[in-house]
Amino acid sequence: MRNFFLFLGVLGLGFAACEKSTPTTTPPDDTAGDSAASGDATAGDTAATTDAAAEGGGDGGATTEPGAPGVAWNDKTFKQRQEYMGIVVLPEMKKMFQAHDGGAFGTFKCQTCHGNDMQAKNFKMPNDGIYPLNPKDPVKGAMDYDKKITKFMLDEVTPKMAEMLGEKAMGKDPAGTFGCLRCHPSE
């Protein structure tokens, strides 16, 4: 019975998070979703997420929770990554972005970060559709472009995303592995 209610919850999250029939509204001065996405497989479409949940948590079997929260990101299967993005990452990022600027990010979805062609690109990151940054000094380029969003990204988004992926944010830790260029393309 618990699995049935968990399945219904995942199903509802999936439909609410990544509706395919509704066009994406991107923030002003942001081209997220206008172009190709590239990088590692991450976000989930609703069909894959709900199918995996119905199977007992992706490829992990009946004892693995949807999204396999106890499995390191690099060790997750593609289905587990999709589930984790839909259940954990999307709701957290949506909440953060909408709290930062509800007008610009009122329709925050998977496509906001991964692009409208996310499925064709297999959810790869970085996303060529968002603002490109200079790889030698991505923070300076971002600050020159938009100080407010850059500060938000550095202070809130990057550390939280790094935490959710089990990594350390660059800039906050000398051993950091997660930074701007994981999502933003190089110019």
Cα of 133 vs its chain's centroid, Å? 19
The proportion of the chain whose per-residue pLDDT surpasses 90, expressed as a percent, equals 57
The whole-number pLDDT of residue 175 equals 80
pLDDT of 119 higher than 80: yes
User: What is the model's pLDDT at position 62?
Assistant: 57
**Cα separation, 173 vs 176, whole angstroms:** 5
Q: How far apart are CA 117 and CA 37, in angstroms?
A: 7
Contact call for residues 52 and 80 (beta carbons, < 8 A): yes
Task: Supply the mean pLDDT for the chain.
Answer: 75
Task: Name the pLDDT band for 85 (thresholds 50, 70, 90).
Answer: very high
Task: Report pLDDT for 63.
Answer: 66
Strand partners, 178: 169
As a whole number of angstroms, the distance between CA 184 and CA 161 comes to 14
Q: What's 75's DSSP letter?
A: G
> Minimum mean pLDDT among 24-33, 63-72, 122-131: which range?
24-33
Residue 88 corresponds to which tokens in the numbers above?
A: 């954990």
